[in-house]
Structure 1
Amino acid sequence: MAKAKGKEKKSREKESDFQERVVQIRRVTKVVKGGKKLSFRAIVVVGNEKGQVGVGVGKASDVIGAVKKGVADGKKHLIEVPLTKANSIPHPSTASGGGAKVMMRPAAPGTGVIAGGAVRTVLELAGVKNILAKQLGSGNPLNNARAAVSALSGLRTLSDVAQERDIPVEKLYGV
């Protein structure tokens, strides 16, 4: 019985490794035959600050239920982010989601996370410490968060590119 409790504790610790931050909670209504039905939509960013991050959306009749559903959705849509030794991204990247466009550039150590809104939350929970980012177009938090995740998922390291091309990493430098 003691072993079973130990396993449960480890699995809980593994799950609690992820942090979750609520980006937005919005009250939404649906017009039905008897009047208006009130519910809540929560946009949640989930990440472990070690290169894994995801954005989730949850809808429920109460705020707590919406946040729980958003966390579950975010964990389903996790992506891996390649980080450099300086906790930055390997190369500049842009992506769009809906009407939002996000531009990201790597930065030198000590720069910090220079980004705003939902993009900042996504980058912090991904574990990026030095980056320059800009939101262009729409200010919608959901579209900006999805655009940020899309930009991060498109990143590739030198070793990834060398492996795809079946050449050694040294050859990429042109030596």
Structure 2
Amino acid sequence: MFQPPGQQQTEWKPRTTLGSMVLAGKINSMDQIYENGMRIQEAEIVKHLLPDMKNQVVHVGIVQKQTDAGEMTRFNALVAVGNEAGWFGIGKGKASQMRVSIDKATNAAFLNVIPVKLGCGSWECKCNQLHSVPFKVRGKGGSVTIEIIPGPRGLGIVAGENIKSLLKLAGLKDAWTKSFGSTNTMSSTTKAIFNALRSTYSVG
């Protein structure tokens, strides 16, 4: 199969025992990894078990620092990954080049993937399909607090564009949201969403 230049798939050579088990087919789902409390140290493990993962650059910032050699510019990237079906992760990366900072952040997001429990917790719906959260969840990041409230089918996600795109990446189709604090700070907002989605398991 032809691939454009720069898109060639390099062969994965696992560096960890877990990676070797995944490649050998001894572990064939992310659920197995989480049920056994295993730690993921290679992004390729997630890519192998969840090949439909998508990534989204949430924010790229520029940090300029004065040094003896002059002004040094570095990029801070924040990336979210998800398969739109119950897996979601966020990661940060820093580098002197924008592309490298995004690649680092993407890799970190894969290592930070969590399961998101989907369900139908809306009293208006009760369809028992996996389209919303099973109950109200709340997450905090910095000065930002996000509440995600189960919504009936067909509602869509009632939120600003940035929050909506992240919840879709996690697999939500319908939900009400409430946000408190400076939601323009995307690093805090993204962390609040991550913590809220993580509590779909820790609370339930």
Say whether the 8 Å CA contact 1:28–1:39 is kept in structure 2: yes
**Corresponding residue to 1:53 among 77, 88, 92:** 88
Return the alpha-carbon distance in structure 2 between the equivalents of residues 137 and 82 of structure 1: 26
Aligned twin of 1:128: 172
Percent identical across equivalent pairs? 30
AA at the equivalent of 1:95:
G
Q: Runs of 5+ in structure 1 lacking a partner?
A: 1-7, 162-175
Deviation above 3 Å: which 4+ runs of structure 1? Answer: 8-16
Aligned twin of 1:114: 158
Say whether the 8 Å CA contact 2:50–2:83 is kept in structure 1: no
Alpha-carbon offset, residue 118 of structure 1: 3.7
Aligned twin of 1:41: 76
Return the alpha-carbon distance in structure 2 between the equivalents of residues 142 and 121 of structure 1: 15
Return the alpha-carbon distance in structure 1 between the equivalents of residues 106 and 149 of structure 2: 28
Q: Runs of 5+ in structure 2 lacking a partner?
A: 1-10, 13-22, 24-43, 120-128
TM-score (norm 1): 0.78
TM-score (norm 2): 0.68
Partner SS state of residue 155, structure 1? helix
Alpha-carbon offset, residue 19 of structure 1: 0.2
Aligned twin of 2:198: 153
Say whether the 8 Å CA contact 1:86–1:109 is kept in structure 2: no
Higher relative contact order (CA 8 A, sep 6+): 1
Partner SS state of residue 193, structure 2? helix
Alpha-carbon offset, residue 15 of structure 1: 5.5
Return the alpha-carbon distance in structure 2 between the equivalents of residues 86 and 18 of structure 1: 18
AA at the equivalent of 2:86:
G
Deviation larger for 45-54 or 111-120: 111-120
**1:9-52 deviations in Å (ceiling 9; x for gaps):** 99877554110001111111122112210011111110111100
Aligned twin of 1:141: 186
Higher strand share: 1
Alpha-carbon offset, residue 98 of structure 1: 0.7
Alignment of 1:28-107 (within 5 A): 28-84=63-119, 85-107=129-151
Partner SS state of residue 61, structure 2? strand
Return the alpha-carbon distance in structure 2 between the equivalents of residues 81 and 153 of structure 1: 6
